[in-house]
Amino acid sequence: MRVHVVGNVCVDTTFRLERFPQPGETLNASDHADGLGGKGANQAVAAARTGADVRFRAAIGNDAAGTWIRQQLSRDLDAGHLTTLPLPSDRSTIMVDARGENLIVTGAACAAAFDPLADFGFASSIERGDIMVMQGNLRPDATTACLRAARGAGAMTIFNPSPLAAGHVPDLSAVSLAIVNAGEATQLTGAGDADTAARDLIRQGAGAAIVTLGAHGCLVAGGKGRIDRIAAPRVAVVDTSGAGDVFCGCLAGCLAAGIDLTAAARIAVHAAAISVGRAGTLGSCPDRREMKMLMETTEAKTA
């Protein structure tokens, strides 16, 4: 199976502080660095590191940052499917405190203008049995159109609707698997507990749903009402930014390798646990050797 990831890519600038600043307050960071980021890019790279054949589609600007982004992506996957727009490349500022919690602000001109279906080679490249992964960074209408096109072509569609668009309820009718965190699950369903929220997401149209629960792992809800709970290993948290993207990308890559959903979620939980023990967003993602080991050892324990 081929994994198509459609979303955004940006330059991440991460600042490390003891605590977050109050309104109007200026704090000096103990460290700062630039890195590749964006939920789409993070998930695409995580999927590629599982060994999956990944095609990543996103928009970059016609500037030096866009050239740098293309070069960085080329280390992990084919960057030939990026679209260049006459705009500044997208950027994110990430603040990480001493507990590993983060605050993120993104400038997303390229993501807002990107229309994947305008590339006539996109829809025709999706084949029956492929997997398509999307997030909430593109315009809702573009996201819905892509999901419908992929589902119509016979692909499995994975939707991680983060960030949630204000005032917009995502259309899950063309979604094979919805992946949300606990806060997003409550926002989308109004349910106070993850079990009910997962079932509500299925009632809204998703074929299956996963609710990620941070240090408590995740729960997997299938279309027949079964719910599997997966615990996360205990780790010392350094930085939680990007952990959800590692989970989503790893999961997609495992599914493409023929691993069943529950076992794939278990592997993805362990991959995310590795990432929160490291600094950075994409920089914290397990490498190919680590992913291979996780896929072999974690799956073996569940066989």
**In a structure prediction context, what are the per-residue pLDDT tens digits for the chain, which is 303 residues long?**
899 999 999 998 989 999 999 999 999 999 998 989 999 999 999 999 999 999 999 999 999 999 999 999 999 999 999 999 999 999 999 898 998 888 988 899 999 999 999 876 788 999 999 999 999 999 999 999 999 999 999 999 999 999 998 878 899 999 999 999 999 999 999 998 999 999 999 999 999 999 999 999 999 999 777 899 999 999 998 888 889 999 999 999 999 999 999 999 999 999 999 999 988 778 889 999 999 999 998 765 554
**Catalytic residue ranges:** 245
Q: Which of 203, 209, 205 is CA-nearest to residue 222?
A: 209
The length of the chain, given as a count of residues: 303
Task: Tell me the residue ranges of DSSP E strands in 38-130.
Answer: 53-57, 59-61, 83-85, 91-96, 102-107
Q: Who contacts 287 (Cβ-Cβ below 8 Å, separation ≥6)?
A: 49
- Dmax over CA atoms of the chain, in Å, equals 55
Determine the Cα–Cα distance for residues 30 and 18; give it in Å rounded to an integer.
8
Q: In the prediction, which pLDDT does 223 show?
A: 73
Q: Which two tokens mark 249?
A: 């990308």
| In the block, residue with structure tokens 């990007």 | 242
pTM, full prediction: 0.92
1: number of CA atoms within 13 Å, CB side? 23
Q: Find out whether the peptide bond into 88 is cis, omega within 30 degrees of 0.
A: no
CA distance 114 to 64: 19
First to last CA, the chain: 22
Residues 6 or more apart in contact with residue 2 via CB below 8 angstroms: 52, 53, 54, 55, 127, 130, 131, 256
How many Å apart are CA 260 and CA 277, to the nearest integer? 27
Beta bridge partners of 78: 55
Q: What angle do CA 239, 241, 243 make, to 5 degrees?
A: 95
Domain 2-21+30-302: which CATH number of 1.10.287.110, 3.40.50.300, 3.20.20.140, 3.40.1190.20: 3.40.1190.20
Q: Quick one: how far is CA 246 from the chain centroid?
A: 7
Which residues are within 8 A (CB) of 253 and not within 5 positions of it... i.e. 6 or more apart? 3, 46, 47, 48, 49, 50, 51, 52, 54, 291
Measured CA to CA, the distance from residue 39 to residue 60 in angstroms comes to 14
pLDDT of residue 108: 93
Phi, psi values for residue 155, rounded to 5°: -85, 155
**What is the pLDDT at residue 301?**
59
**Is residue 198 within 8 Å of residue 171, measured between CB atoms?**
no
